[in-house]
Amino acid sequence: MRRPLLTGIVALSTTLAVVPTGGGTMEPPIKIGVIEPLSGPVAASGNYVRMGAEIARDWINARGGVNGRPLRLLIEDDKSDPKEAASAAEKLIVRDGVPVLMGAWGSSMTLAAMPKLEEYGVPMVVETSSAAAITKRGNPWVFRISPTSEMEALGVEKYLDALGVRQADFMAVNTDWGRGAVLAFSGMLRRRGLGVGTVEYMDQAATDMSAQLTKIKSAGGDTLFLTTGVEQITLVLRQAQEQRVLVRVITTGGSSSPSQLVKQAGAAADGSYHIVFFMPWFPEAMPAPKLAQAFVAEWTKRGNPFEGLTEGFRGHDGILTIAEAIRVAGSPEPTAIRDSLWRVDVMGLNGPIRFEKDGPPGRESGQSRPSIFVVQIRDGKAALPAFVQK
């Protein structure tokens, strides 16, 4: 029986630079490349993922590393730009010699980096991106632990009657992520015989969404599905309140950070619903309660912002997945890691991580089936909706 790296509370968080072997020699670290948006429009999210990855690294190193060797993260900033993501992937692989990558938050950045994986034969664990094309395109070096937009839509479908959705409109960031979410959720609504109204897109760096909200207001829908980063969600909620756009708001993508919205949007966020993949407010309700409680405690101990936990868990689960694949492979060699990712079976903060084949035959990518949750901001704090409690 294989023994997963982390299955319960991890008490230590000491980073080890090297690990002594039985003969007293020092083993070199195993390098893992990490690509995240550490600057640019979604920098907060990228840095939260980095913080979670660093916790996983420290926990694993404190337990002796992987196969007697410590992990070392080499972190690159893709600046929320697809071209930068591709350049970062090439740098990490060619110059730094990493045998495996994690990245790259946004779907457009991940898609841009993917050709480098095939060119150089290096696997990547995708921790956040949700566009269907990532696993449908046919790249056997890609393994995604985040849900697709289609998975999210199916996760919400069972709550449509309780929510009272009859006709929905859409606002989304004009990226592969946003466009993919609109396709997935509008398709799900149509299958259910519900109305799909107007669809409005916005640039990733836009700060004035009044024109889009005016169209939403006149469309007459009862629900607005909103897909973008937390910074832009804050602006949309505030501007919707100012324009008296009285609709039910449901954010998609798991990047809404309800605690941050409470701080930044105030009363404008009250009543909104959010699809999330980690519930730091209710760690006891997560699939691995002790691990979730330990992660929240460690995150808090380090002084990281509580509102970052809904993104930070992704970094932890991505590095945990990679570490388990290296352990199973017995060697930090790219092809061996890729082959071992198909045999990973480990409990992460979101739930069990294991991969199924997705994509064209013979060129399948790996796709895990994550847990999906819905929370509501009520009276200034995150709460479980009544229909979820039941």
Q: What is the pLDDT of residues 95-154, one digit of tens each?
A: 999 999 999 999 999 999 999 999 999 999 999 999 999 999 999 999 999 999 999 999
pLDDT of residue 10: 41
pLDDT of residue 24: 42
> What is the CATH class of 150-276?
alpha beta
Q: How confident is the prediction for the chain on average, in pLDDT? A: 93
Query: Does the pLDDT at position 3 exceed 50?
Result: no
Per-residue pLDDT tens digits for 186-229? 999 999 999 999 999 999 999 999 999 999 999 999 999 999 99
Query: Does the pLDDT at position 260 exceed 70?
Result: yes
Per-residue pLDDT tens digits for 34-44? 999 999 999 99
pLDDT of residue 386: 87
Mean pLDDT computed over 260-265: 96
> What span, in angstroms and rounded, lies between the C-alpha atoms of 180 and 130?
8
Tell me the helix, strand and coil percentages in the chain, rounded to 5: 45, 20, 35
Per-residue pLDDT tens digits for 335-351? 999 999 999 999 999 99
Stated as kind and residue range, the H or E segment containing 195 is: strand 195-202
pLDDT of residue 387: 85
Helix axes 149-157, 176-191, angle to 10 degrees: 30
**The pair of three-digit structure tokens given for residue 361, joined into one six-digit string:** 């035959």
What are phi and psi for residue 173, nearest 5 degrees?
Answer: -65, 140
pLDDT of residue 29: 98
Q: Higher-confidence residue: 55 or 388?
A: 55
The residue with tokens 């989304």 is 172
Pairing, β 26-27 against β 30-36: unpaired
Amino acid at 381: K
pLDDT of residue 26: 53
Mean pLDDT computed over 304-316: 97
Task: Answer yes or no: same fold for 19-147+284-367 and 150-276.
Answer: yes
Q: Is the omega angle on the peptide bond into residue 294 within 30 degrees of 0, that is, cis? A: no
pLDDT of residue 13: 33
Q: Which architecture, in CATH terms, is 19-147+284-367?
A: 3-Layer(aba) Sandwich (3.40)
| Strand extents, DSSP E, 256-347 | 273-276, 346-347
pLDDT of residue 1: 38
> What span, in angstroms and rounded, lies between the C-alpha atoms of 101 and 117?
9
Amino acid at 373: F
What is the value of pTM for the model shown? 0.91
Query: Does the pLDDT at position 284 exceed 90?
Result: yes
Q: What percent of the chain has pLDDT over 70?
A: 93
Q: How confident is the model at residue 65 (pLDDT cuts 50, 70, 90)?
A: very high
Q: How confident is the model at residue 389 (pLDDT cuts 50, 70, 90)?
A: low
pLDDT of residue 84: 98
Query: Does the pLDDT at position 4 exceed 90?
Result: no
Per-residue pLDDT tens digits for 148-180? 999 999 999 999 999 999 999 999 999 999 999
Residue ranges covered by each domain of the chain: 19-147+284-367, 150-276
